[in-house]
Amino acid sequence: MRDRPAPLAVLATSVVEPKLDLRSATLDEACGFAVAQGWPRFRGEQIWRWVHDHGVRSFDEMTNLGRDTRARLAQTAVIGGLTIAEVQTSHDGTRKLRLVTHDGQSIESVVIPDGDKTTQCISSQVGCAVDCQFCATAKLGLRRNLDAGEIVDQVYLARRLLADVEPGRRISNLVYMGMGEPLHNYDNLVRSLGILTHDKGAGLSQRRITVSTSGLVPKLERLGGEDVRPNLAVSLNAPNDAIRDAIMPINRKWNIAKLLGALRAYPLEQRRRITFEYVLLAGVNDALDHAAQLSRLLRGIKCKVNLIPFNPHPEAPYARPSHAAVAAFQEECRRLGMPTYLRIPRGDDIDAACGQLANRSAGSPLVALTSRRGPPAPPPVE
Ligand code: SAH
Ligand code: SF4
C-alpha cells in the first residue's frame, strides 16, 4: 500500500500563500509584493527590473540584493517562464527556438534578421482552437493558454541567445503570429503588451509590435480601448464569405462584414495601417477576380495586404500557387490600388515561417538540434 501524504503537509500547503510569478507580474504588482514583504517599494522595482530588463533567470543573479532578501524571495516568489529545448538556424539566418513550458508543452518562436531590423514571431497559446483548415497549429487543437510570463519570456530568451551568438543584434520588432490566437488569450496578451513596452523593462515600442488575429470581433473592439495599442494584422485570407466560411470556421460567427465593421471603427493612430494577411491557396482564393473582390471589400480602410503563399504541410489539402499565379495576383492587387506585399517565406528549410510553427515536436522530434544549414527549400508546388 502506498503511504498517504502526511496530514501536516496538507495542512501546511493549505495555508501557504501562493508564490508570486515575477515573470508574469506588472511593475505595480512587484512593488505591492515588496511592500507586503515589509520592504520599501523601490525594492519591488529593483527586482522587477532584474527580471524584465536584465532577463535574469534566478534570484542569485540579482547581485544588488542581500543574501537575506534573496532567500526570502525564494520562499515567496518564482521566476516563471520557459526553457530552450532546441535552436535551429536557417541558411538565411532565421532562428527557430523550440521552447518548453514547466508542464512539458512545446511552443515555438522565430527570430528573423532583416538588415538592421530583427523581428521575433512569438506564440500566445499551445495550439489553437480556431481550426483554420490550412493551418498546422490548428491540428493540435487548443492545449492551453500561455501565461503572460511565458509570452514575454520568449523575448527574453531570444535576447539572451542573440547576445551570445550575434552580439549587437537586438530584437526590434515583435509579431504575435506564432502558435495560437492572441485574442483568445486576451488578458495575458494585454498584460504581456504592458510588460514588454514598459520603459523600465524591455522597452519595446508599441509601434513595432503587431498582433495578428483571425478576427474575434468583440475582442478587437476591446483592444481598441487599451492603453497599449499594437499594430493589427488580420488574417482575412478570403475575398468573400463563401470562401472564408470554408477555410476559417470563425467566419461563421463573425463574418467579413462584421469584421471589417470592427476594423473601420478601430482607433488607428496617425500613419498606421491595418495589415490584411492573405494566404494564397491554389485554386481556392488566388483567381484574379478574387483580387477584384478584395479591393472592393477593403475600399476606404487604411490598410496594406500581405500575400503569404501557402506553406504546404501534410495535414492540409491545399497547394501553394505557382510563382506566376502569385505574381499575377499581386500585380492585380496593385493595379486595383491596394498596397500589396509578398511575404517571402523565411527559414523555410526549418519550417520557421510564421503560421507554420507546427506540431512536429508534439509527434516526431525536430530533426536537427542546432545550426542546421540545409539547402534552400524546394520550389513551390507548380
Ligand atoms: N492566430 C493568428 C496568428 C497566428 S497565425 C492569426 O490567425 O492571425 C499567423 C498567420 O499565419 C496567419 O495570417 C495565418 O493565416 C498564416 N498561416 C497559417 N497557416 C499557414 C500556412 N500553412 N501557410 C501560410 N500561412 C499560414
Ligand atoms: Fe489559429 Fe491563426 Fe492557425 Fe487559424 S491561422 S488556426 S487562428 S493559429
pLDDT the model gives residue 17? 78
For the segment 273-312, what is each residue's pLDDT rounded down to a tens digit? 999 999 999 999 999 999 999 999 999 999 999 999 999 9
Does residue 219 surpass a pLDDT of 80? yes
Active site residue 108: yes
Does residue 21 surpass a pLDDT of 50? yes
Q: Whose CA is nearest to atom 13 of ligand 1?
A: 235
pLDDT the model gives residue 300? 93
Q: What is the DSSP string of 7-59?
A: HHHHHHHHHSPPPEETTT--HHHHHHHHHHTT--HHHHHHHHHHHHTS---SG
pLDDT the model gives residue 103? 97
For the segment 45-86, what is each residue's pLDDT rounded down to a tens digit? 999 999 999 999 999 999 999 999 999 999 999 999 999 999
How far apart are the C-alpha atoms of 53 and 79, rounded to whole Å? 13
Q: Whose CA is nearest to atom 8 of ligand 1?
A: 213
- This prediction's pTM: 0.90
Q: Whose CA is nearest to atom 17 of ligand 1?
A: 355
Most distant pair of Cα atoms in the chain: their distance: 77
Between vectors from CA 144 to CA 261 and to CA 256, what angle results, nearest 5°? 15
pLDDT the model gives residue 271? 84
Active site residue 121: no
Name the nearest CA neighbour of 69 among 29, 108, 106, 42. Answer: 42
Q: Which residues line ligand 2 (CB under 6 A)?
A: 128, 130-132, 135, 137-138, 180-181, 214, 235, 355
pLDDT the model gives residue 352? 66
Does residue 227 surpass a pLDDT of 60? yes
For the segment 349-375, what is each residue's pLDDT rounded down to a tens digit? 776 655 555 444 433 222 222 222 222
Angle at which helices 148-165 and 186-197 cross, to 10°: 40
Q: How far is CA 275 from CA 103, 151, 186, 278, 309, in A?
A: 35, 22, 20, 10, 16
How far apart are the C-alpha atoms of 174 and 172, rounded to whole Å? 7
- Ligand with minimal distance to 321 CA: 1
Nine-digit cell string for 202: 524591455
Report CA(202)–ligand 2 centroid distance (Å): 27
Average pLDDT over residues 325-331: 98
The mean of the pLDDT values for the chain is 89
Which positions ≥6 away from 310 have C-beta within 8 Å?
134, 279, 280, 281, 282, 316, 318, 319, 320, 321
Average pLDDT over residues 167-194: 97
Nine-digit cell string for 342: 509578398
Which positions ≥6 away from 136 have C-beta within 8 Å?
311, 313, 315, 316, 355, 356, 357, 358, 359
Average pLDDT over residues 191-214: 97
How far apart are the C-alpha atoms of 141 and 136, rounded to whole Å? 10
Does residue 11 surpass a pLDDT of 80? no
Does residue 314 surpass a pLDDT of 60? yes
Name the nearest CA neighbour of 146 among 230, 199, 80. Answer: 80
- Specify the ligand 2 atom closest to the Cα of 135: 3
| Residues 216/183, Cβ–Cβ less than 8 Å | yes
Between vectors from CA 351 to CA 348 and to CA 353, what angle results, nearest 5°? 65
- Sign of torsion over alpha carbons 61, 62, 66, 69: negative
Report CA(162)–ligand 1 centroid distance (Å): 26
For the segment 107-140, what is each residue's pLDDT rounded down to a tens digit? 999 999 999 999 999 999 999 999 999 999 999 9
How far apart are the C-alpha atoms of 126 and 187, rounded to whole Å? 16
